[in-house]
Structure 1
Amino acid sequence: MSLSGKTCVVTGAASGIGRATAELFVELGATVVATDIDADGLATLDNVTRVVGDVAEDEDAKAMIQAAINLSGRIDVLVANAGVIPLMTITEATGEDWDHVMNVDGKGMFLTCKYAIEAMQHTGGAIVTLSSISGVAGQPKQAIYGPAKFVASGLAKHLAVEWAHANIRVNAVAPGTIRTAVVKKLEEDAEGKRYVDGMAAMHPMRRLGEPVEVARAIAFLASDQASFITGAVLPVDGGYLAQ
């Protein structure tokens, strides 16, 4: 699998799945524009062009895509990964919580896809959105995050159909629970560890995934090896959704 010669934008690249994806894309030969609101996290990524910004802000989202065009004259791949992951029941959450998550996870994904497609419509390309098992099936304490991930799954399906004629492929990955820094931090206290252990037990493989395992699936969907795959939501979940 190679991404040599491709110019790729990865949002939310300062940590977690986004960081693992940016690092893997570099290994596979891609020119990578790594974006995030976390400037300090981005600063520790090597061999990438860094763009600090908020995907939910129109001008920032546009600048992320423009950075790729400035480098290579085109954008070949967008990985729309940036998002926030609150754990709340509907009675714990507020309207402000809902607006914040939908702004980042929903609007931010919409904007980056919009500007990527505007640039890809004459050249073709591939987009991978980050959904979740919570964007396919229900889970506790996901009253806000889960619906936002249905947006990611929905965008992949609708945009795939809308832009297939322009040779733009749009797919999603649906990770299970992944051992990102956020999840590792949950394990630091007893209640959080019980939650994480419980989630691991719900996956048939009886473990959590690693960020690079999701990154490999993203790289496949972004590559030419997936040339006849569009509109798919690919679980990377240790069998969670197969139950």
Structure 2
Amino acid sequence: MTTQSTFGVGHQPLQGKVALVTGGATGFGKAIVEKLLSQGANVLVMDIRYSSAEYARNDSSTDPIYIQGDVSCENDWKRALQQALTAFGRLDIVVNNAGVLHKAQPSIELSGDEWERLFRVNVKGIHYSTKTIIPYFIEAEISGIFVNISSISGARPRPGLVWYGATKGAVNTATKGLAVEWAKQNIRFNAVCPSVGETAMMPLFLGHDSSPEAREKMLSTIPLGRVCQPVDVANAVSFLVNDDASYMTGVCLEVDGGRGI
């Protein structure tokens, strides 16, 4: 007897679900938004660069809704939650994708202001995310899902990006701690840890050295021989928010082409 795959043509496993994606106007975030939409989810995007999202038509059920917001501002999180409830009537999934990076440089040369910015966006944003959304999940009796976009740097820090790696190490630890703390409420937390990606951040990883030699040196550290594409991250997020991953929580999933080995 032949068993038909549940992921046949037209299957939309996230039909009826609502997702909030931060930093979803460009890069990894944009790919995540497109993937979740393709699986039937309604999507709200919160991005500090609202102008970069103006291409969105917002005139059909398959378009995301965009709001301008700063993940390090608690009031913007409250406003995003209210917008999701107003537009879609519920919220099921939060993807904490928004993040910042500093130029690769010796750790002692990073300015205090840049250090503060890294932790404010990369770590504080997740704090406000959970502080705002978890009480809603509990009150609404929703088995909510958080996916935090971390980095292979969180587990494998390297010279030049020490303080960026420190913020992602904090993201990994918070993901695991939150997973344990809220498991009884069936709220799941997982993280995706990409290697360097084909996004606007790549020049910062390379220290603004765009020479072929610099790129080849970076590629030589990745066993699969290519950088992470936005769709690679989107596919990992899609898996973690689907029912197939319902027994997974506290996982920091490396999407790195083998770089972390």
In the superposition, the TM-score normalised over structure 1's length comes to 0.93
Call closer, same or farther: CA 1:69–1:195 in 2, change over 3 Å: farther
Larger helix share, 1 or 2: 1
Q: Give the structure 1 partner of residue 81 of structure 2.
A: 65
Does the aligned pair in 2 maintain the 1:74–1:120 contact within 8 Å?
no
Letter in 2 for 1:115: T
2:34 corresponding residue in structure 1: 23
CA contact (8 A) 2:101 2:204 kept: no
Amino acid at match of 1:206: G
Query: How many angstroms apart in 2 are the aligned matches of 1:108 and 1:190?
Result: 30
- For structure 2, list consecutive stretches of 5 or more residues without a partner in the other structure: 1-6, 8-12, 58-62
Between the aligned partners of 1:186 and 1:137, the Cα distance in structure 2 is 14
Q: Distance in 1 between matches of 2:37 and 2:180?
A: 29
Deviations 1:118-158 (A, max 9, x none): 21122111100011001111112112211111121112101
1:101 matched residue in structure 2: 118
Match of 1:164 among 183, 189, 193: 183
Correspondence list, 1:51-200, <5 A: 51-86=67-102, 87-121=104-138, 122-183=141-202, 190-191=209-210, 193-200=212-219
Match of 1:9 among 20, 24, 43: 20
Q: Note closer, same or farther for the CA distance 1:76–1:149 as it changes in structure 2 (3 Å cut).
A: same
CA-atom RMSD, angstroms? 1.9
Take 2:38 and 2:240, find their aligned partners in 1: how far apart are those partners? 16
- State whether residues 195 and 256 of structure 2, in contact with CA within 8 Å, keep that contact through their aligned partners in structure 1: yes
Q: Which amino acid aligns with 1:98?
A: W
CA distance in 1, matches of 2:17, 2:211: 40
Count residues with an aligned counterpart: 242
Structure 1 runs (4+) greater than 6 angstroms displaced: 184-187
The amino acid of 1:135's aligned partner reads: G
Q: Distance in 1 between matches of 2:211 and 2:126?
A: 28
Give structure 1 stretches of 5+ with no counterpart. none
What's the CA shift for 1:6? 0.5
